[in-house]
Structure 1
């Protein structure tokens, strides 16, 4: 049962202004969303067909009265995947719907869950689009990951008496001052949630400081630690090995790269290649609309490049660099590599999830931008599984040590895997918190 909650006058006034600003900027949003539909051929049809879902024009075959899990993008989908699989297994009588905000998140969700769940975009946060979306979907429970706070969605769920829980919730100490400046709006927005499941003690304390009611707040730890290896990824890794690399190859992966990071890693690679003649690099751009641009960047650097999406031929094992221009292949690259660079960290994007690499016991390097996962980054760094540096020479020096001394690389990688094993259990803790709001009628044991 949801406790009665009446939003403050200030919250309501700001929500109206926010809605008005969204309406005014709708043409720009429309153009940006269309631009991001530049996907590989295998997924472009799906993206264009579902573009209308941004405005709550839902397919006729959608199944209502289930559980909705919203994940902004790829990282949130990865964090929530084991929770989603639990819901699919134990609530098989209910449709499980996964929504995303980004196109890459949508494709990744499709690759992970296939037909086991319904995949849709979350509509633009306008009252009439969200209202229509909730009317059609009629969820019994809405789960929102990490830091997604959509005022109109929260308001419409409250009006329809739909419980909404913020899971794997993150509020860093760096972000807290900004949230505090807008606490007249953020505090009542957060109080719309039935439960807020904090991913760390610091996030718990920060949510409490912001004004989340203590009975709402739970410390469940970070679901990103609850990663498991997948046989499908092993099969993909074997395919990459057979196609692109001979038995002598040492492999460096540049993972989830953003603009500027490919050039950075090319310089690192060229420095290392002077000493390691069998070194190859796999580059995995974060966003598929950059695949063609990254290919040109790598070619312009004077490197021989093979595209993973290209037709198989007998010359595939001659390239310096393999461009992984297919979605859903990153974990396979981690399984195959000797060591890895984690992107979004030289570019000021906050760094992507290093735990996916730790799952395969591989040592890692990152740039200084780590604000997305500061506690995870610090923990891995303290344990010796991750090096954080700023310059090409710093990265090259550390990678050189690991490439020349495999025993040291293995030791660093195993320390990362131990971090995962010591901190798992967040999915189970989250499910315990959600117990009062889960729709248990006819649920499978």
Structure 2
């Protein structure tokens, strides 16, 4: 073990009490963080033999392990998993996560014989117990998850470990370069890397990663659930007016939106004053239904309180009467797993994470639902997809949230332009599909090699 990794291991071991305290704190807002905490430290309740069967079983009969840290990665994993199950009938899935939302979403993907646990904290002991417990045939890390001890342990045990749908922005690349003694051996020890874009590939190769292909983004292969599309269409019909959504909003962005909204549409006045101001407000702010969907569930209550304190009538999705929206100034999307319905409902989306310096969110699911997107200046986490969408007429970049709102409102006031944007969004999403099948084929090939090695 190198000095850099020995020091890192000592730090991660010493930080375990802090991790336990953080999990307890997070569990107050999201109870999922209190589930199976022992798994975080590589300790599992299930007997080993009941999980993986006979120790002599070859690679094709053992777990295919996919690690999807959070909600976005789990949704990408779902797309890849659909292709993997088609190419590897009867495969057993070992699915790991790092966040409560990821685990909740991942539970929907399980079939009989599959197992879902937390990925252990990256100490040598926890990682060793995890690999002894499950003996995966191979591992697939989604997007950005590079853990030095985990990768080193897989290399020692001969477990092929790949990075799929890989992305690495410029900021993360610079950070990895600063930690070169620790990061570079980890990237070099991966079996294969399949990048989202050529720029991602070049940054990963600079760190020594074995890039074997540039397949594009798995999320282009998303197929929105018909039931969600139907529900979103029903909501739109009931709305009776254009819907503009602030989607996947992050901390501070709702306050930015509220500041703009209040400047155009005074709230908290008497009914007479509101009636007088409404005529003025409508000159610059057309009648639309606003929808806000925060990125993180633990902020639902916080955002609702912020809006209510400003005098707005807020109707939370969780309080709707069945599937019938409640009349309000703002609808608050406080549900998980309904983004396709929200995107179908919305005429235009303001994409969160891009109006504060947070790197943006992925716009591909919105495009797949035929919903045009307006972004702010901060999209470095999804730079290529954003640029391609802008070039295709499926998205627009603005200097900030006020300009983004103006653009969205201009679109909903011009139905012809809006319809063109909708068609462009759908065409953009369809034009970039194919990453899931290509990635699944490579995983299947590597798994076949591992099976042959196990038999030999």
**TM-score, normalised via structure 1 length:** 0.87
Q: Which residue matches 2:204?
A: 207
Q: 1:201 to 1:313 in 2, by over 3 A?
A: closer
Q: Is the 8 Å Cα contact of residues 246 and 317 (structure 1) preserved in structure 2?
A: no
Q: Is the 8 Å Cα contact of residues 218 and 433 (structure 1) preserved in structure 2?
A: no
Match of 1:331 among 340, 344, 359: 340
Report whether the alignment pairs 1:319 with 2:311: no
Q: Which residue matches 1:266?
A: 258
The 5-angstrom pairing of residues 367-386 of structure 1 reads 367-386=376-395
Q: Secondary structure at the match of 1:255?
A: strand
Report whether the alignment pairs 1:51 with 2:43: no
The 5-angstrom pairing of residues 54-203 of structure 1 reads 54-60=40-46, 63-64=51-52, 65-111=62-108, 113=109, 115=111, 117-203=114-200
After superposition, what is the alpha-carbon deviation per residue over 1:116-143, rounded to whole angstroms, capped at 9, x for unaligned?
6533221111111111111111110100
Q: Which residue matches 1:6?
A: none
Report whether the alignment pairs 1:257 with 2:249: yes
Q: Is the 8 Å Cα contact of residues 250 and 338 (structure 1) preserved in structure 2?
A: yes
Cα distance between partner residues in 2 of 1:59 and 1:115:
20
The 5-angstrom pairing of residues 258-407 of structure 1 reads 258-270=250-262, 274-275=281-282, 278-310=287-319, 312=321, 317-407=326-416
Cα distance between partner residues in 2 of 1:311 and 1:236:
13
Q: Secondary structure at the match of 2:247?
A: strand
Cα distance between partner residues in 1 of 2:262 and 2:88:
52
Report whether the alignment pairs 1:14 with 2:4: yes
Structure 1 unaligned segments of length 5 or more: list them.
1-8
Q: Secondary structure at the match of 1:139?
A: coil
Match of 2:223 among 212, 228, 243: 228
Cα distance between partner residues in 1 of 2:111 and 2:367:
29
Cα distance between partner residues in 1 of 2:396 and 2:262:
20
Q: Secondary structure at the match of 1:58?
A: coil
Aligned-residue offset at 1:333: 0.1
Q: Is the 8 Å Cα contact of residues 248 and 278 (structure 1) preserved in structure 2?
A: no
Q: Secondary structure at the match of 1:373?
A: helix
Q: Is the 8 Å Cα contact of residues 37 and 289 (structure 1) preserved in structure 2?
A: no
Q: 1:247 to 1:74 in 2, by over 3 A?
A: closer
257-266 or 349-358, which deviates more:
257-266
- Whose Rg is larger? 2
Cα distance between partner residues in 2 of 1:93 and 1:385:
39
Q: Secondary structure at the match of 2:139?
A: strand
Match of 2:25 among 9, 31, 35: 35
Cα distance between partner residues in 2 of 1:21 and 1:145:
25
Cα distance between partner residues in 2 of 1:295 and 1:208:
44
Cα distance between partner residues in 2 of 1:205 and 1:351:
21
Aligned-residue offset at 1:311: 6.1
Q: 1:391 to 1:187 in 2, by over 3 A?
A: closer
Cα distance between partner residues in 2 of 1:47 and 1:221:
32
Cα distance between partner residues in 1 of 2:84 and 2:240:
44
- Paired residues, what number? 422
Aligned-residue offset at 1:163: 0.6
Q: Secondary structure at the match of 1:318?
A: coil
Q: Secondary structure at the match of 2:438?
A: helix
Q: Secondary structure at the match of 1:80?
A: helix
Q: Is the 8 Å Cα contact of residues 361 and 410 (structure 1) preserved in structure 2?
A: no
Cα distance between partner residues in 2 of 1:66 and 1:314:
39
Report whether the alignment pairs 1:219 with 2:214: yes
Q: 1:247 to 1:177 in 2, by over 3 A?
A: closer
Aligned-residue offset at 1:207: 2.2
After superposition, what is the alpha-carbon deviation per residue over 1:183-202, rounded to whole angstroms, capped at 9, x for unaligned?
33322211211111111111
Q: Which has the higher helix share?
A: 2
Q: 1:91 to 1:314 in 2, by over 3 A?
A: closer
Q: Which residue matches 1:3?
A: none
Q: Is the 8 Å Cα contact of residues 77 and 109 (structure 1) preserved in structure 2?
A: yes
Q: 1:143 to 1:408 in 2, by over 3 A?
A: same
Structure 2 unaligned segments of length 5 or more: list them.
53-61, 266-280
User: Hey, which bits of structure 1, 4+ residues long, moved more than 6 A?
Assistant: none
After superposition, what is the alpha-carbon deviation per residue over 1:86-128, rounded to whole angstroms, capped at 9, x for unaligned?
22344343321221112221122224x2546533221111111
